[in-house]
A and B are shown apart, each in its own frame.
Chain A
Amino acid sequence: MNALLTAEGLHKAYGPTFALAGADLQLYAGEILSVMGPSGSGKSTLLHCAAGLTTPDQGRVAYLGRVLSELDDVRRSALRRREFGFVFQFGQLVPELTALENVALPLRLDGVRRKPAEQRAAALLERLHLSDKAKARPGELSGGQQQRVAVARALVTEPKVIFADEPTGALDSVSGEQVMDLLTGAARRSGAAVVLVTHDARIAAYADRGIVVRDGRTPARAGIR
């Protein structure tokens, strides 16, 4: 089977600091892939490169045969908007907008008119049992509710890949579980693949398989000998 997304030999340095020093990632359609590793090992940088949010210094990322670094900014961001969804740890909702407007935002940015965008957002909020929060602003929601709204926003464009960086990092185990049930349930129903960055094994256990990042690399398993 061909991979949906392939990242090969990624290197990325910030000044003297190496964030990635030869990292690979392959993502197949519809799978949930966990990315684990110690703090500072390069997980977020790998996710950002794979999603075309950051351009690596070396190596290449291809999505369905299209090399992200060969696209111009306009095309790359259009691809991100249409094909990818994002969930981060926190602070990703626009504080001035209601939950409904936040969920509709990716559609609005893609040129969908207000009414149909908000209709789709409302339908999604309903499916995720968040209808009663549609008019609330992020500041009026608990951390867990905010993350569920963020999941709804990531899903609204029906992306092929959802990139989630510590989506439950700021939540207790019960709300974390709710967010994960929601995220993985929706991804499985829609056939979206998920890249799930986490250092929490209980969260990684929602994935079908996992990779580990160490010192900017994704080393193949070594033998005991």
Chain B
Amino acid sequence: MTIATAFLALLESRPRHGYDLKQAYDQHFGHDRPLHYGQVYTTLAKLLRNGLVTVDGDETSGGPDRKRYTVTEAGVTDVQRWLEEPETPQQYLQSNLYAKVIGALLTGRSAAAVLDAQRDEHLTAMRELTRRKGQGDLADRLICDHALFHLDADLRWLEHTAVHLDELAEQVRG
């Protein structure tokens, strides 16, 4: 998701001033990284140029803080397209970790130890997220949950792979 798309969605909910957009973005999308004003201005300028937002009637003078922005038909279509398109499932971890397992088996090292070390790393991250979750509001909790469910899925794959290591070793060496 880009900042521009998030702005369009925020503007589809209602027209907003530049300052209000930044606040709303930071609250709903920005969790770890609040926007700089520079990013707000350049994003709005680009959206204006591409005809995805308009500035309300007589408020065209003054800085972006003062101007009120409204999403256009084309902007709404962009939001629709963004929401319709599923995210590419991320496979980076699996492929990197799988490569390490194969690397360990090929070189006669302990693939189980590779998996154990990864399990520790994952569990440490999951404990930290669980702690954070306990202190956060609902939005924080759900974002932590998303990460937790993903790490959990990685771990399940890892346990599953651990069971098949002997078999895999035979194939790799054979």
A positions within 8 Å CB-CB of B: 38, 181, 200-202, 204-208, 210, 212, 221-225
Contacts and interface: CB of A to CB of B under 8 A. Distances in A.
B110 A207 contact: no
A201 B123 contact: yes
A210 B110 CA distance: 21
> Would you list the 9 A-B pairs with minimal beta carbon distance, nearest first?
A205-B126, A205-B130, A224-B113, A201-B155, A205-B127, A222-B113, A201-B152, A202-B152, A224-B109
Given A38-B159, A181-B134, A202 B126 contact: yes
Contact of A221 (B113, B126, B155): B113
Contacts of A222: 110, 112-113, 116
Interface residues of B, number: 25
Nearest to A208: B127
Given A38-B159, A38-B163, A224-B104, A204 B123 contact: yes
B116 A201 contact: no
Contacts of A202: 126, 130, 148-149, 152
**SS of A interface (majority):** loop
Contacts of B156: 201
20 contacts: A200-B152, A202-B152, A204-B123, A204-B126, A205-B123, A205-B126, A205-B127, A206-B130, A207-B127, A208-B127, A221-B116, A221-B117, A221-B120, A222-B110, A222-B112, A222-B113, A224-B109, A224-B110, A224-B114, A224-B117
Interface in B32-79: none
Contacts of A207: 127
B122 interface: yes
A218 to B, nearest CB: 13
A177 to B, nearest CB: 9
Contact of B148 (A38, A205, A221): A205
A201 B126 CA distance: 8
Nearest to A184: B134
**SS of B interface (majority):** helix
A223 B113 contact: yes
Interface string B106-145: 0001101110110110110011011000100000000000
B151 interface: yes
A202 B112 CA distance: 21
Contacts of B134: 181
Given A205-B127, A205-B148, 16 more contacts: A38-B159, A181-B134, A201-B151, A201-B152, A201-B155, A202-B130, A202-B148, A205-B123, A205-B126, A206-B130, A208-B127, A212-B116, A222-B112, A222-B113, A224-B104, A224-B117
B164 to A, nearest CB: 13
